Chains A and B, each alone.
Chain A
Amino acid sequence: MAVYARGYRPYEGSFGGRSPVMAIFGQGFRNAIRTRSFKILGVLVLIFYVIFTIQMYVMLNIEEVVSEGFSRFANRNEPFDFATYTTRYLKQALMGFYGFVATVGALISMLAGAGIVADDLRTRALPLYLVRPIRPIEYVLGKALVLPAVLAIVLLSPGLTFYLFAGLWQPDGTTNEWLGNNVDILGNVIHSYLVASFGFTGLMLFLSARTPRRGTVMAIAAAVYFGGAMMAGLGSELRGVAQQALKHVSLIVNSVSAHVMAEAETDRWRNEAQMERFREEAPSPTIGMVVAIAVLLIGAYAVYRRARSTEVSE
C-alpha cells in the first residue's frame, strides 16, 4: 500500500510545541475558584482578614491603644520601643490569624482539590490527556500548581499584607528599617504557606488520583486533616519517640508551627526553661516542612502513575 497514494502528505512540522503545563494549571485553577465552597470560605477568610486589618490599624495607630501597649512594656521594665511593640503585636496577631485560617485553608483545599484528578477520572477525560503531547510530569505539574495558587490567595497574601501594613504604619522614615529588621516575620509567613500548600496539595493529589469519587476524597481528607490534628494534640501530651512522631502528623498544625514558635518567643514564653519545654511539645517548623514535602512527593507520584498510562494496576 502506498502511503501517499491518496493525497497523504508526510508530517513536516515539529514534534515540539508549547508546554501544556499552564493550560492544565489554568483549567484546574478556574475550576477550583468557581466552586461555591471556595467562594463561601473565601468570603469567610476575607471577613476575618478585614477584622484583623482593622484591629491591627487600631493597635498601631490609635494613640490611646498604643499607650496602653507601651505601659505593658513599662510594667516589665522593658525599654519603650514602638518597633518592638509592633513586632510583638504582629507575631501574636499572625498566630491568631493563621490558627483559624489554616483550618479554613485545609477545608478549601479539601473542597476545591477533591476533583483535581478525580474529575478527569470520573468524566473519563484522562484518555484525552494521554493521547495528547503531554509528558506525565507536565500533567503532574499542571495539577500540582492549582492548590498552591488557590492557597496563595487565602494563606499567603494576608500575611504579606499584614507585614507590609506593619511596616507602613511605622513612624516616618523607619518603614524600610522595620521591614528589614523583621524579615523573619516574612519568612514565617512564607514558610507557613509553603508547608500548608505542599502538604495539602500532596494529600489532595494522592487521594484524588486514587478514586474518581469526590465524596470519598473529601471524607478521607477530612479524616486525615482533623484526625491528624487530634493525634498531634495527643502527641504533645506524650514523651519520647511517640511524642516526636505524633506531634508532626498534622498538616494543619505543622503549617502554623512557624507562627507558633514566633509567638512563643515574644510574650508568653520569656522564661528559657518554659521555652525549652514548649519546643519539646510544639512541632518543629523544619520537620513540618520535611513532612509536607514528603506528602507532596507521594501525591505527585500517584498522579504521575495515573498520567503515564491507563495501566495503573500494574
Chain B
Amino acid sequence: MSETPSIALTNVSKWYGEVMGLNDVSVEFGPGVSGLLGPNGAGKSTMLKVITGMLRPNLGTALVCGRKPFDNPGVMRRVGLVPEQDAFYPHAAILDVITYLTRLQGYDKAESRRRAMNNLERVGLGHVMDRSAAGFSKGMRQRAKLAQALAHDPDVLVLDEPLNGLDPTGRREYAALIRALGDEGKCVLVSSHILHEVALVARRLVVLHNGRVLAEGTAREIREDLSEYPLTVHVQTQDGEALAPLIVSLEGVGRIEHAPTGLIVRTTQPNRLFDEIGAMAAEGKVTVEALDPVDEDLEAVFRYLTQ
C-alpha cells in the first residue's frame, strides 16, 4: 500500500507580476473528494492551473501522480478537468465534441465514441447526446463538462466551481455523482467559493485566502468554526412570499428581506437553510432557481477566519 498522494504541492508560489496567486502553499490530496474553498481571488484557480499543468510554479514543486504536470503531457493521461467556464464548440453535437476530446487522449475513433457515449449516459445526458451544447441548460452543460473529463477514466479529477448555477435538485444529483467518483477511489478536487457546496461533496476541505492555506479540516470542523458567524444567503425564487413563512422559524434564521429576485436571508446555520429549502423544492412546495451566499458576506467570513 502506497502513501504517495495523488496531488502534492510543496512550498508552491506563483505570482503574476506583482500579484501573488499562491504564496508558499504546501498541501496534499489523496483519493476521495477534497474541497478547495476560498473567496474569489483567493488563488483557487491558480492552484488548479498549477495542478493541471497550465501554469508553472515560480517556486516550489507541484507533483501529480508523482510527476511534474507542467509541460508534461504524459501526466495529463491521468487527469480530467471540469473547467469553470463553458468550453464547447457551440455548433457540434455534444457526442462529437466529447468523442473528439477523448481522441486527444490517444484512443482511436471507435473507442473514443464508445467512451463518450458511456459517460454521457453516466451523467444523465444520454437522451440529448446528438444535440449541441448551445441549447443546453446550465446544469446540462455542467454535466457535459464532467462527461468529457471522465471519458478517459482519469485518476485525478479537478472540478472548478462545478455546482455554480445549478438549481437545488441539480446540485444534489451532481453532488451525488461527484461523491460516487470519490468512492471509486479517484482523487477528486472540487473548488468553490461556497462552503455549503463543497461541504455537500467533500469530506476534507482546504481553505485558501490571499494565496495561502488558511485552514484544513473536515467540513464539520470548518462549519463549527463558522457556526457563530451569520451568513447572508440569496434565495433566487418566484415563490418568495410562500417561502418566507416556511423558513422564518428555522433555527439560525435571523432576518428575511424580500428582493426583486427572491429573498435575502441572514442565518447562522446556512447548511440547515440549504437543506430545508432543498427539501421543500424537491417536494414541490416551492420553486427555487438558485441558492447563493452573498459574496461580500463570504469575504467577511474569511476575514473572521483570519482573525
The chain A residues found within 8 Å of chain B, CB to CB, are: 1-11, 13, 15-20, 23-24, 27, 119, 123-125, 127-136, 308-311
Contact = CB atoms under 8 A, between A and B. Distances in A.
Contact of A133 (B77, B155, B185): B77
B103 interface: yes
**Helix, strand, loop or mixed for chain B's interface?**
loop
B184 interface: yes
A308 B76 contact: no
A3 B100 contact: no
Interface size class of B (residues with CB under 8 A): 35 or more
A10 B30 CA distance: 12
Nearest to B109: A23
Contacts of B56: 309, 311
Nearest to A22: B103
Given A20-B104, A23-B103, 13 more contacts: A1-B5, A3-B6, A4-B2, A6-B31, A7-B183, A8-B30, A8-B31, A8-B186, A13-B77, A27-B100, A132-B101, A132-B104, A311-B55
A230 to B, nearest CB: 36
B105 A2 contact: no
Contacts of A132: 73, 76, 101, 104-105
Contact of A127 (B54, B104, B105, B185): B54
Contacts of A131: 52-54, 76, 79-81
A74 to B, nearest CB: 61
A302 B4 CA distance: 38
10 contacts: A8-B31, A8-B155, A13-B77, A17-B105, A20-B105, A128-B81, A131-B76, A133-B76, A136-B71, A311-B55
B126 interface: no
Contact of A309 (B2, B70, B78): B70
B88 A18 contact: no
Nearest to A34: B91
Interface string B184-210: 111100000000000000000000000
A11 B106 contact: no
A132 B101 CA distance: 8
B148 interface: yes
A117 to B, nearest CB: 13
Contact of A310 (B4, B49, B108): B49
Interface in B136-181: 148, 155
B107 interface: yes
Nearest to A129: B104
Contacts, number: 128
B54 A3 contact: no
Contact of B85 (A3, A10, A16, A124): A124
Contact of B83 (A17, A19, A127): A127
B304 interface: no
B183 A310 contact: no
Contacts of A124: 83, 85-87
Nearest to B187: A8
* Chief secondary structure at chain A's binding surface: loop
B74 A5 contact: no
Contacts of A15: 74-75, 77
A309 B76 contact: no
Contacts of A20: 103-106
Contact of B31 (A3, A123, A308): A3
A4 B31 contact: yes
A123 B185 contact: no
Contacts of B3: 1-3
Contacts of A4: 1-2, 31, 185
A162 B155 CA distance: 56
Contact of B89 (A3, A24, A119, A135): A119
Given A127-B81, A133-B76, A3 B87 contact: no
B286 interface: no
Given A2-B1, A4-B1, A27-B100, A123 B74 contact: no
A10 B2 contact: yes
A304 B45 CA distance: 23
A29 to B, nearest CB: 12
Contact of A23 (B2, B6, B83, B100): B100
Contacts of B183: 6-7
B87 A128 contact: yes
B41 interface: no
A130 to B, nearest CB: 5
